[in-house]
């Protein structure tokens, strides 16, 4: 499995032992295959050779694990009856039923309960966060956030998430408190997406939150970054109950 997927260490995220959590590598060093999760014209993952390699190392996955991400706040319970349902989050109560999001700068937010009976993941771009995807999760799972454990995956660090005035104006229209996560430096403005996510989780009384410090833009050898080179390639973040 380590040819393509890298497990999130328990020292990085303390979770029940039956909760399995992985993120795909940018490159398989043993096979020298670029892991390409390019998006099709309808927003669907292409079943490329590299994607099929993922299926080989993770036999419990099939196309039903994927969602059609639209930078919204909808969350589904997986498995879904629909094929590639439009959503930006999924959770499952069933064993060996993976939940997956694809990212290349956005924030993958994994979560599970303390008893290892629920696992899920959100695709958190800035739009999803400011429009309420954390609140949407709270309504869907019907479990106190005090009983959930969260892991914020690799995303843009504050030094790499430069924004323009129209972005700042948009945040101000939604909630002026969001401007607390915009910082000025040398006549430029930067957005702290990690801190905003942690703040929103805290507002729902989440107390178990682990945060990856890795930046998808800075670590070019390890991560795809749309902001860096407009790539169509994506990382897969995967979680399931074993």
139 has pLDDT over 70: yes
First to last CA, the chain: 15
User: pLDDT digits over 147-185, tens only?
Assistant: 999 999 999 999 999 999 999 999 999 988 999 999 999
pLDDT tens figures, 171-228: 999 988 999 999 999 999 999 999 999 999 999 999 999 999 999 999 998 898 999 9
Position 54 scores a pLDDT of 67
Which percentage of the chain shows pLDDT scores above 90?
67
The strand order across the sheet containing 107-113 reads 76-78, 89-92, 119-124, 107-113, 148-152, 208-211
Q: Rounded to whole angstroms, how far apart are CA atoms 157 and 162?
A: 10
| pLDDT of amino acid 59 | 67
pTM of the model: 0.89
Return the pLDDT at 29: 41
Q: Which CATH architecture has domain 5-155+209-241?
A: 4-Layer Sandwich (3.60)
Residue 97: CB partners within 8 Å, gap ≥ 6? Answer: 60, 65, 78, 79, 240, 241
Query: Could you tell me the residue ranges of all domains in the chain?
Result: 5-155+209-241
Neighbours of 228 (CB within 10 A): 16
């Amino acid at each position: 499995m380590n040819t393509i997927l890298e497990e999130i260490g328990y020292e990085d995220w303390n979770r029940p032992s039956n909760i399995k959590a992985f993120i795909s590598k940018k490159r398989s060093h043993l096979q020298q295959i670029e892991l390409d999760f390019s998006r099709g014209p309808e927003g669907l993952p292409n079943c490329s050779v590299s994607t099929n390699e993922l299926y080989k190392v993770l036999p419990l996955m099939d196309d039903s694990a994927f969602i059609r991400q639209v930078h919204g706040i909808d969350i589904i319970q997986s498995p879904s009856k629909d094929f590639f349902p439009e959503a930006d989050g999924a959770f499952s109560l069933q064993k060996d039923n993976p939940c997956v999001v694809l990212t290349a700068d956005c924030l993958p937010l994994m979560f599970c309960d303390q008893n290892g009976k629920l696992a899920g993941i959100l695709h958190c771009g800035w739009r999803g966060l400011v429009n309420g995807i954390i609140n949407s999760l709270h309504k869907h799972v019907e479990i106190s956030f005090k009983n959930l454990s969260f892991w914020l995956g690799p995303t843009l660090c504050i030094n790499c998430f430069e924004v323009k005035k129209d972005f700042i104006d948009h945040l101000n229209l939604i909630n002026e408190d969001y401007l607390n996560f915009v910082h000025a430096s040398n006549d430029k403005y930067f957005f702290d997406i990690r801190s905003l996510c942690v703040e929103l989780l805290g507002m729902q009384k989440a107390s178990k939150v682990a945060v990856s410090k890795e930046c998808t833009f800075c670590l070019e050898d390890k991560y795809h970054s749309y902001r860096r080179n407009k790539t169509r390639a994506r990382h897969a973040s995967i979680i399931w109950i074993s």
